Amino acid sequence: MEIIEHQNNHGRVAEILSDRVLITELQDAIDLIGDLYYQGFDHIVLKENNLNPLFFDLKSQFAGDVLQKFSNYKMGLSILVSSLQTDSQALNDFIRESNKIGHINFISSI
């Protein structure tokens, strides 16, 4: 895992570069938040392939659990996805609503 630091209106942003799944369970998200918060980051950018595929199956509630931790710990999150449109209307609605609120964002490019 490599971290590229960016500065923007969110503060210090950690862009995570990794080819593997980093968040397979809820504790992984908590550990990542804690580690990067300790390093002084305010926001994290992950690629969709860094998340357990269950994250994108809203019925599993994994996305809600993970995003709740980011919200509770006041750590911003952007998820870099290949497309902001999916085959799932529920997921499309979830992405759109998340992007409206702004604390959790789905983005197509850095």
pLDDT tens profile 7-29: 988 699 999 999 999 999 999 99
pLDDT exceeds cutoff 70 at 64: yes
Sequence-separated (6 or more) residues with CB below 8 Å from residue 33: 44, 69, 70, 73, 75
Coil, strand or helix: which one is 86? coil
For residue 37, how many other CB atoms are within 10 A of its CB?
15
Least confident among 32-41, 59-68, 101-110: 101-110
CA 43 from chain centre, in angstroms, equals 9
pLDDT of amino acid 10: 66
